[in-house]
Structure 1
Amino acid sequence: MDFLGNHIEALIFCAPKAIKIEDIQSCLSEMFEAEIPLEDIEKGLAGIQEKYSADEFPFEVVKSGGGYQFLTKPAYQASIGILLKQQSKRRLSASAMETLSIIAYKQPVTKSEIEQIRGVNCDYTVQKLLEKELVEIKGKSEAIGRPMLYGTSEKFMDYFGINDLKELPTPKDFTTAENEIGDSEPEDQPTIEEE
């Protein structure tokens, strides 16, 4: 079983993104020219996860985005945080995060629907999100002109470390701080519409 476990570990290590158990099974079955039972792979995965749970390893095998991958343990977040700051070019801009949030919560959604919510043109941002493979085209709307429908991809789930869209925070999880500056206008001040 250790021999099979080593092959599973190698596949997880070499995969460019979280590898699904079905993909592991497919690779191993082709290599050994025999159907490898899912139970054997699950046993191998459990052994690997147990092995890397030891304190001597700074990383572990985690199920994320519907598959398995090596991730750094939480105890090393500070040093990883410094590295990520230095690589901030890879971070999403505020406009990309806003657009991605709208797509995640409203999907499938058209570009014009996103623009109605954001109030600005989002051609460039949607294009960048497509290039980063965080969103994908899910089909065409039945509306006039049959605009493209956008939704999140598996890479989106992997990027945010979730396995299902149900794991996204719900609006009740967000609270606004009391007494924020600019929270409301004094009653005697006219609003722009009233002027």
Structure 2
Amino acid sequence: MDKKEIKAIIESLLFMWGDPLNLKDISLILEINEEEVRSIIDEMIDEFNYERRGIKIIQIDDSYQMSTRSEHFEWIKKLYNPKSNKTLSSAALETLSIVAYNQPITKNEIEMIRGVRCDKALDTLLEKGIIEEKGRLERTGRPIIYGTTKEFLKYFGLTCLEDLPSLEEFEVDIEEE
């Protein structure tokens, strides 16, 4: 099978699957080693970007997905009527940032950092699939620990958690305040 055919198959797989498709799964389907598949997908990403196509391939951890270009949002929104509110409240965003930078973390630890209860914000984030329960701690009460999901990475356009800006970038000079 030549590279052009492999690219066409990968494009078909990503288009039909819709959700992020793991590199390992693509490799198994094509019966090609993962590094070769990764190299071909990287080449496809470059081609899509160079040609400024209406779709692009995004990487989320070790998975890939087709996506529309953000610069075409104004035209796409004329066609698409969202069924639910996709925005997050400031409380939910604050809670999410605490989870993202401190995961795994318990509800009690989040509330200690925020200084207020976070039940509603956690429920919203869980409902949207941006965070998930990662397990329970082996201590009194067996509190649930939370962490972010692949949906979090997708929602914020990140490849992996290491792409999060460092906390030092958000340091505020007290004298400026």
TM-score (norm 2): 0.79
Partner residue in 2 for 1:123: 119
- The 1:101–1:39 alpha-carbon spacing in structure 2 relative to 1, beyond 3 Å, is closer
Partner residue in 2 for 1:90: 86
- The 1:118–1:81 alpha-carbon spacing in structure 2 relative to 1, beyond 3 Å, is farther
Residue 53, structure 1, aligned to residue 49, structure 2: yes
Identical columns (%): 34
Contact 2:60 2:150 in 1 (8 A): no
Q: Which runs of 5+ in 2 are unaligned?
A: none
The residue type equivalent to 1:15 in the other structure is: W
TM-score (norm 1): 0.73
Deviation of the 1:80 alpha carbon: 6.5
Q: Which runs of 5+ in 1 are unaligned?
A: 30-34, 184-195
Partner residue in 1 for 2:135: 139
- Match among 24, 27, 33 for residue 25 of structure 1: 27
- The 1:92–1:70 alpha-carbon spacing in structure 2 relative to 1, beyond 3 Å, is same
* Runs of 4 or more above 4 Å deviation: 80-83, 177-180
Q: For residues 151 and 67 of structure 2, what CA distance do their matches in structure 1 show?
A: 15
Q: For residues 120 and 56 of structure 1, what CA distance do their matches in structure 2 show?
A: 46
Q: For residues 13 and 85 of structure 2, what CA distance do their matches in structure 1 show?
A: 29
What pairs with 1:1-195 in structure 2 (closer than 5 Å)? 1=2, 2-26=4-28, 28-29=29-30, 35-55=31-51, 57-73=53-69, 76=71, 79=74, 89-176=85-172, 183=177
The residue type equivalent to 2:74 in the other structure is: S
Q: Paired residues, what number?
A: 172
Q: Find the structure with the greater CA-based Rg.
A: 1
Q: For residues 175 and 39 of structure 2, what CA distance do their matches in structure 1 show?
A: 54
Deviation of the 1:78 alpha carbon: 6.5
Query: Superposition RMSD on alpha carbons, in Å?
Result: 2.9
Contact 2:45 2:57 in 1 (8 A): yes
Per-residue deviation, residues 82-115 of structure 1 (Å, max 9, x unmatched): 77xx858201111110111111111111111111
Contact 1:96 1:129 in 2 (8 A): yes
